[in-house]
Every structure is written in structure tokens, then in C-alpha cells.
Amino acid sequence: MSNTRESQMKAFGRLLDILDELREKCPWDKKQTNESLRTNTIEETYELCEAIIKDDVSEIKKELGDVLLHIIFYAKIADEKGQFDMADVCNSLCDKLIFRHPHVFGTEEANTSGQVEQNWEQIKLKEKGGNKTVLEGVPASLPSVVKAHRIQDKARNAGFDWEQKEDVWDKVLEEFTELKQEISSMDTNRTEAEFGDLFFSLINAARLYKINPDNALERTNQKFIKRFNYIEQKSREMGKSLKDMTLEEMEVFWQEAKGKC
């Protein structure tokens, strides 16, 4: 059951009070800095993403709390330095949301999500201190698959895209053919470059067909883990290690695993 707005604000205030006390009295919390928290923040974000992929509501709630704690922690550190506080973070976000949604808070019209997306990048370019180029807003530290998807999505919003999504498959086949040619040349650098081009074109195809490539790959990762674990379990039941099994034996159990997961 949803809590009232008043109870939500009370809970948020309670969290702020608890962090204030931890920062004052806990030796570990006292010594934390932006730099010391950064890697933990990345880990917590990935744990939230994993919970979302698994559609585990209980874990999503828990991991959202962990991520929220980090956000509040960074604001607390900044407040101690006289830079900004949590209210500044919230107000800055509110101002940005209002500015980027003139069809909600202003007089412009946008009747579909596609129209909103088309206007998004142009609005961001107009922001004071905003991105000077369309692709400037893509963080350099993003994982490569996510970065490729974001690059292509931003280019699409600027009007750079296939007229017909089916045309992308010709590009995928073109890149695959070029890769096979380079593999035969034994030139590692050129082969690596062609692998990259093929990956990029496949990610582009996924985007055009409304598939998140990172989610798709992670689903396959999890599926492989389950099936490989099944083979490993069967090998132990046979009194063997995986290295002692033949490929033919592994293939039998792999096909069994496919029927189970």
C-alpha cells in the first residue's frame, strides 16, 4: 500500500537525521569521502540493475535504499564543505525537469513519447552550461555496450538514423563480411576494429527493434550460468570434474539444461 506524501517526507527526513548521526558518531562513516564512496556507488548501482533484471521486488526496494543512501551521503559531504546540500540537489533536479518538459509545464505540445524524445536533445543544448554537442552528454566511463546504445540513441534524437529499420540488417551483414575477411589477414588490430564495428551494428539493430542490448546480453549471461552450473552439478553426480568430461558428455547435459532453463 502506498504511503501518503506526508509519511514519505517524514521517512526521508528520518533518513537524513540518521545519516547526520552516523557522520558524527561512526568512525567508518566519518572518514568517507567522495573518492572512497565512488566504487561502492558503482557496485550498488549494478546490484540494483541485477535486482531489476530478476524482477525481484524485495531486492529492488533494498537496493534502491542503498543507492539513495549514497546520494544523500554525497550531498552531506558537500554540505560539510559549504558547497551544496540535499535541498539544492532536489531543487536543481526540479528546475531541470520543468525546463525539459515544456509540454507539461509550458505551452509546447508533445503528444507522443517519440515527440518528447525528438525534442529532448535540442532542449539540453539550450540549457545554461549544458552540452555543447549532441554526444557530449554520453559519460566516457559507461560500459561499452551501454555507451554504444546511448550514442546511437542520441544520434537518433538529432535525426541521424535509418529511414527503415529493416535496412540495418544489410549493415550487420556488411560488417560480418568485413570481419571474416580481416580474420583471414591475421592482423589483430584490424580484426579487433571489425569486431567492434559488428558489435556496434548489432547494438544498433537492437535499438531499432526496441531491445535493450545490455539487458539482452545479461539475460544470456544468466541463462549460460544456469546451464553451465547444471553441467557442473551433473559432473559431480558422476564423480567427475568438468575437465574429466568429454565434450560429447557435456553436450548431452547442455541439451538437458536447455529443456530446464
**SS3 of residue 6 by DSSP:** helix
Q: Rounded to whole angstroms, how far apart are CA atoms 27 and 242?
A: 47
In tens digits, what is the pLDDT along the chain, a chain of 261 residues?
578 999 999 999 999 999 999 999 999 999 999 999 998 998 999 899 889 988 999 999 999 999 999 999 999 999 999 999 999 999 999 998 998 888 888 888 877 877 777 676 677 667 656 667 788 878 888 889 999 999 998 898 888 999 999 999 999 999 999 999 999 887 899 999 999 999 999 999 999 999 999 989 988 998 999 999 999 999 999 888 888 888 998 999 999 998 887
Q: Note the pTM of the prediction, 2 decimals.
A: 0.65
- The identity of residue 115, as a single letter, is Q
Cell of 105: 509545464
Dihedral sign (CA 65, 66, 69, 74): negative
Cell of 51: 535486482
